[in-house]
Amino acid sequence: MKMEIRGALELPARRDEIELHTLDGLTLVGELALPAHTDPVATLVTLHPLPTAGGFMDSHILRKAAARLPALADIAVLRFNTRGTSSPRGTSEGTFDGGHAERFDVAAAMQFVHERGLPHPWLVGWSFGTELALKYGLDHEIDGAILLSPPLHRATEAEVAAWAGDARELVALIPELDDYLRPEEAAKRFASVPGIKLIEVERGRHLWVGESQTRRVLTEIVAAVQPDALPLPTEWDF
Look at residue 233 in the predicted model and tell me its pLDDT.
97
User: Does the N-terminal peptide bond of residue 121 adopt cis geometry, omega within 30 degrees of 0?
Assistant: no
The Cα 7–Cα 171 span in angstroms is 25
* pLDDT tens digits for range 174-217: 999 999 999 999 999 999 999 999 999 999 999 999 999 999 99
Average pLDDT, the chain: 98
* Domain coordinates in residue numbering, the chain: 18-226
Bridge-based pairing of strands 14-21 and 27-34 is: antiparallel
CATH architecture label of 18-226 = 3-Layer(aba) Sandwich (3.40)
**pLDDT band, very low/low/confident/very high, at 97 (cuts 50, 70, 90):** very high
Q: Average the pLDDT over 21-48 and give the result.
A: 98
Q: Average the pLDDT over 49-58 and give the result.
A: 98
Please tell me the pTM assigned to this model: 0.98
